[in-house]
């Protein structure tokens, strides 16, 4: 292939349009000809669905299929040898040439002369499909595409469009011929006008009521279309939109002393014995473990049904390379950057995943054990580590988090699989490491007992390299204040 980025006539890059038959490998052009002629060879369709040679070989070698194999051989020999010819056009026949190119796939090149890393999006008539990124100051990317495809560009990691500073129009490109070169100019930059519609679909989405269904996302991406209903041109300023008073976020989950009370109850009360609590560290070593901040495991917290359900939910959402949060722009968007210290893949358990009965069972159990309402939780992050993957030393909170949800006060970490070797969670300041065990929960605070607004610098940790096997895990990050409300209004940094 010329490039790793490809588009199809009726579908986005790297996707097969729904309802289309994928014809690959030996005999592809012949089968394409058969189907295009509408011939009576539909029995071959049975074999087109087997997209790998292994599956086809398995099928054709099965006992009892001698006659099926014979029939296929007969059909391949009986059908006249055909091939798809490229359309021949007379010299100077521009109409013919244009029609021929519409169905032809070829390469176009994007050159980014701006100072911003840029994402290239295929304009699918909705919110766009991100297909490639290009480095700043002369970076380039080749894309396989077709005549008529449209693209727009944004800053990398957010959907903040790059505009012409003279006209304030977003840079957009339409493919008109093969081997076309598109240039993102050196002066391309985000618009100075904060309240704008980033997508052509904004007006119709607002008419469907999405401004009230998803106000944070719509204020940032479809500000003009939501201005009348939400006063979006005012609320697009996060200093106005994201105050705790405006969001009615006033009651913290913990006050001074509550952290110690909760962990002490886990270590001492009989109602928690069913989960097999093991204290690895406690203040003064009073309740077991070393002298240090609270760290506790529940060695029998999840059932296999719950653990397997979380893994299933991760696959349902799709695992992507883990990212970190970068800088925040003036409307509250945080740039997503590929992590250099974290090589795992992760999936956010939202929507259909969050509605799964297994997932709801686990969250309800954590709510019951902690006494902290679900509104304070981030959605499950489900993690997938392969051999040699890791997450280097980090902290789950910041020194003093003044955002509306407040700091992450506690991490409730769940091991969803056993790991043959490696993959431990190691607390680097304390010399402790916890081995993955399916069904085990590992819980630690990220703040201090006397001031839950302030981080505990002792709680740095890392995920050690997986040496052998595969590691699945999941975690709820729990905040001091309501997280769901601020997230709904776009006050947690994530809008993708």
Specify the pLDDT at position 332. 65
Please say if the pLDDT value at position 446 is more than 50.
yes
Phi, psi angle pair for 429, to nearest 5°: -85, -10
Q: Is the pLDDT of residue 31 over 80?
A: no
186 phi, psi to nearest 5 deg:
-65, -25
* Residue 62 scores a pLDDT above 90: no
Sign of dihedral through CA atoms 356, 358, 363, 365?
Answer: positive
Task: Decide if pLDDT at 197 tops 60.
Answer: yes
Q: What pLDDT score does 80 carry?
A: 40
Alpha-carbon distance of 390 to 424, in angstroms, equals 10
Helix, strand, coil share (%) of the chain residues, nearest 5: 30, 25, 45
pLDDT number for residue 329: 66
Q: Is the pLDDT of residue 335 over 70?
A: no
CA dist 363 and 119 (Å) reads 35
51-65, 235-249, 255-269 — which is least confidently predicted?
51-65
Say what the pLDDT of residue 89 is. Answer: 55
pLDDT at position 340 is: 76
**Which of these ranges, 75-79, 124-128, 203-207, has the smallest mean pLDDT?**
75-79
- Percent pLDDT > 70 in the chain is 76
Higher pLDDT, 135 or 324: 135
Query: pLDDT value at position 337?
Result: 66
* Segment of 3-12, 64-73, 181-190, 325-334 carrying the highest mean pLDDT: 181-190
| Alpha-carbon distance values, 346 to 303, 318, 384, 464, 492 (Å) | 22, 8, 6, 16, 19
Q: 298 in helix, strand or coil? A: strand
Among the ranges given (208-222, 330-344, 425-439), the one the predictor scored with the smallest mean pLDDT: 330-344
- Report the sign of the C-alpha dihedral through residues 213, 237, 328, 183, in that order: positive
Whether pLDDT at 162 is above 60: yes
Q: Which of 16-25, 261-270, 403-412 has the lowest mean pLDDT?
A: 16-25
Helix (H, G, I), strand (E, B) or coil at 378: coil
342 SS3 class? strand
Whether the pLDDT of residue 336 is over 70: the answer is no
* Cα(221)–Cα(496) distance, integer angstroms: 10
7 close to 16: Cβ distance less than 8 angstroms: no
pLDDT of 18 above 60: no
Answer whether residue 391 shows pLDDT above 60: yes
CA distance 73 to 61: 14
Q: Which residues contact 372 (CB under 8 A, 6 or more apart)?
A: 253, 410, 478
């Amino acid at each position: 292939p010329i490039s790793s980025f490809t588009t199809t006539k009726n579908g986005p890059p790297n996707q097969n349009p729904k309802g289309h038959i994928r014809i690959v490998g030996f005999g592809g052009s012949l089968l394409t000809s058969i189907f295009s002629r509408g011939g009576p060879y539909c029995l071959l369709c049975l074999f087109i669905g087997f997209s790998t040679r292994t599956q086809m070989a398995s099928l054709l070698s099965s006992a009892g299929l001698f006659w099926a194999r014979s029939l296929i051989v007969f059909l391949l020999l009986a059908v006249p040898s055909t091939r798809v010819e490229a359309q021949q056009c007379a010299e100077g026949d521009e109409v013919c040439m244009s029609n021929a190119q519409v169905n032809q796939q070829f390469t176009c090149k994007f050159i980014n002369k701006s100072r911003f890393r840029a994402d290239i999006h295929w304009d699918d008539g909705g919110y766009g499909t991100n297909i490639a990124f290009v480095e700043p100051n002369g970076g380039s990317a080749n894309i396989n595409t077709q005549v008529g495809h449209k693209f727009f560009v944004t800053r990398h990691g957010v959907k903040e469009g790059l505009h012409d500073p003279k006209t304030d129009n977003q840079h957009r490109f339409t493919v008109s011929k093969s081997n076309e070169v598109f240039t993102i100019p050196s002066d391309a930059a985000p618009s100075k006008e904060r309240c704008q519609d980033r997508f052509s679909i904004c007006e119709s989405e607002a008419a469907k009521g999405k401004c009230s269904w998803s106000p944070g996302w719509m204020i940032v991406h479809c500000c003009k279309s939501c201005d009348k209903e939400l006063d979006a041109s005012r609320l697009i300023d996060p200093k106005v939109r994201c105050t705790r008073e405006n969001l009615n976020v006033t009651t913290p989950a913990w006050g001074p002393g509550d952290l110690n009370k909760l962990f002490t109850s886990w270590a001492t009360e009989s109602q928690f014995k069913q989960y097999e609590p093991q204290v690895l560290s406690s203040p003064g070593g009073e309740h077991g473990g070393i002298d240090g901040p609270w760290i506790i495991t529940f060695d029998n917290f999840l059932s296999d049904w719950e653990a397997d359900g979380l893994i299933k939910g991760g696959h349902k959402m799709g695992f992507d390379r883990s990212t970190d949060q970068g800088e925040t722009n003036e409307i509250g968007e945080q740039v997503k950057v590929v992590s250099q210290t974290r090589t795992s893949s992760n999936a956010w358990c939202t929507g259909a995943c969050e509605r799964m009965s297994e997932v709801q069972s686990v969250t309800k159990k954590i709510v019951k054990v902690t006494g902290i309402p679900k509104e304070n939780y981030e959605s499950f992050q489900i993690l997938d580590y392969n051999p040699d993957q890791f997450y280097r030393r980090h902290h789950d909170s910041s020194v003093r988090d003044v955002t509306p949800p407040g700091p992450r006060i506690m991490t409730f970490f769940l091991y969803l699989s056993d790991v043959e070797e490696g993959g431990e969670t190691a607390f680097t300041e304390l010399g402790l490491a916890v081995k993955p065990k399916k069904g085990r929960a590992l819980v630690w605070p990220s703040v201090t007992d006397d001031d839950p607004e302030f981080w505990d610098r002792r709680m740095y940790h890392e995920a050690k390299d997986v040496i052998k096997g595969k590691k699945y895990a999941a975690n709820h990050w729990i905040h001091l204040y309501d997280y769901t409300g601020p997230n709904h209004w776009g006050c947690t940094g994530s809008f993708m």
